[in-house]
Structure 1
């Protein structure tokens, strides 16, 4: 008797469901393991610290999700944090000591991030330079700008209210975590419930077919880099205000690795075309828990980069196997 084979459609649906729930399952297993391995992991203070630490790179990862779904990548986000942070400190110190100066600095930081993201977008869409090469170049440019403007010295805010943004709490949860979750909700709506989000996915899947469907491919692709840059501006404000200062040589180091890792772990394909914002949120939290457990277990901090690299490699291999 011939053996019945599952229908191709059912097989694809099973793969789709597994891909959708894999990040959540991984997070659940990691939480269970961490709670068993460390008695202090589930303490409210530790959970709050983990969420605060991941919120900065998490906000950047949310913007990076649009870029990667569209088929691109942005390696300049870490250096962009440094230059936006330096300029933000300069603006707020020159504007005075009131809350209006804080508002001016915050809006300027978001605008500056958008401008730098637009610069990346122009180089890629108009200059027709591959996103990897273009953002690799601007990564060096932005870091050099930050060092030159600050004379390679630490920049300190003189505004008495600026530190309240990154250091404040609402219902026991730090402000950066609230901003991260709120932005995730907004970006989710933008990606899944708007024409722009559908166009981003279409471009990542097949830009030629998207152009035949009357989608303005270059314009949509350009906008993804603006969104990523504006997200960097928000993260730079929160990070700088928490420390009330910024070091141009250290700020944002390896943030691009953390952001890309979170996006990939969350199920977004590096080849583009598919991904979710909430998957990125889960990926960010997974990375934060891994870093936290390495510290709680007394493992050398020098091994954390290796662990992140292995996690990215495993996530990409799983994606590749699922696509076959």
Structure 2
């Protein structure tokens, strides 16, 4: 709770400092852009959180965005498929890719870093092959002939649809993580895989599920990005998006060692990253975007290491004190 409160205050601090220097930063248009793109990136970040909490990593989310995006465009523009049916088809495909990752990691005992790094290369290559390196633009409903950008461009109660979608997914994810057996098993797996296995948890199934959830949410984000931009290119779509997702998860409190994470923190972390991006653009320091992301990840890892050492030191001290009490009473 304390860390989430600090993140919440940080959002206001960044906003206030930037708005003082660039008054247009606080206008309705800029706020709408930040809200919409926080929703888009936040969905990916929640997917990354599930894998990170399980003690894994997924480096292919950006390439997943490219592949699912171009598949979605091909089904609508070339195959004249109903957009909602096309969404179902490409999301099933994304989950199957996540299933493949999980099987390679659990059954062949391959490292998640290697598996998803290969996925990063393979998925984008397939996206380029499917489109012959061409962009797909202007997604039009085959029946009505109207552009389907209304799926992300509209607002409800002055809040963009992507942010509402993020809110729904975040609530469901928080319930799964904190109120279900799966969530408890996921954290146990991330904390100590061997201990979780010895306690009777089907760790393979938990790992596979985590990667399928991550791929599914990456696919959802891919569709929303494609519709929002009304275009998707195999080379530029999703480039470095996995870094945003991982940075948001780490900033939000997910330990890269696994076992720890908060969905609320991930959402706040995403909001901070998007706000920082807009602030950098407003202050005309766009060249420093990569520096900001790198520093955020580094600070998150350093904070996690410090917290972990403090907790371990306190636990050892408690064990020593308990042992002394037992020996004294005996």
Q: So what's the TM-score if we normalise by structure 1?
A: 0.89
Q: CA RMSD in A?
A: 1.6
Judge conservation of contact 1:102–1:161 (CA < 8 Å) in 2: no
Partner of residue 14, structure 1: none
Structure 1 residue 131 and structure 2 residue 97: aligned?
no
Instruction: Write the distance in 1 (CA, Å) between the matches of 2:214 and 2:231.
Output: 23
Partner of residue 67, structure 1: 51
Three-state SS of the structure 1 residue aligned to 2:24 is coil
Partner of residue 51, structure 1: 35
Partner of residue 292, structure 2: 307
1:176 positional shift: 1.3
1:96 positional shift: 3.0
Structure 1 residue 285 and structure 2 residue 296: aligned?
no
1:304 positional shift: 0.6
> CA 1:107–1:46 in structure 2 vs 1: closer, same or farther (change >3 Å)?
same
Deviates more, 1:279-288 or 1:235-244: 235-244
Judge conservation of contact 1:109–1:236 (CA < 8 Å) in 2: no
Instruction: Write the distance in 2 (CA, Å) between the matches of 1:29 and 1:248.
Output: 37
Judge conservation of contact 2:4–2:268 (CA < 8 Å) in 1: no
Three-state SS of the structure 2 residue aligned to 1:138 is helix
Partner of residue 197, structure 1: 183
Structure 1 residue 106 and structure 2 residue 90: aligned?
no
Structure 1 residue 82 and structure 2 residue 66: aligned?
yes
Structure 1 residue 154 and structure 2 residue 135: aligned?
yes
Of 119, 141, 152 in structure 1, the residue corresponding to residue 122 of structure 2 is 141
How many equivalent residue pairs?
304
Deviates more, 1:34-43 or 1:78-87: 34-43
Partner of residue 233, structure 2: 247
Structure 1 residue 188 and structure 2 residue 174: aligned?
yes
Instruction: Write the distance in 1 (CA, Å) between the matches of 2:268 and 2:97.
Output: 27
Instruction: Write the distance in 2 (CA, Å) between the matches of 1:103 and 1:82.
Output: 19
Judge conservation of contact 2:4–2:264 (CA < 8 Å) in 1: no
Instruction: Write the distance in 2 (CA, Å) between the matches of 1:20 and 1:163.
Output: 33
Structure 1 residue 121 and structure 2 residue 102: aligned?
yes
Instruction: Write the distance in 2 (CA, Å) between the matches of 1:322 and 1:21.
Output: 17
Three-state SS of the structure 2 residue aligned to 1:96 is coil
Q: So what's the TM-score if we normalise by structure 2?
A: 0.88
1:48 positional shift: 1.4
Instruction: Write the distance in 1 (CA, Å) between the matches of 2:200 and 2:25.
Output: 51
CA deviation string 1:192-237 (max 9, x = no partner): 1111111100000001111122110011011000000110111111
Judge conservation of contact 1:92–1:104 (CA < 8 Å) in 2: no
1:244 positional shift: 2.2
Instruction: Write the distance in 2 (CA, Å) between the matches of 1:29 and 1:321.
Output: 24
Judge conservation of contact 1:166–1:176 (CA < 8 Å) in 2: yes
Judge conservation of contact 1:265–1:283 (CA < 8 Å) in 2: yes
Judge conservation of contact 1:266–1:279 (CA < 8 Å) in 2: yes
Structure 2 unaligned regions, length at least 5: 310-330
1:95 positional shift: 4.6
Rg larger in 1 or in 2?
2
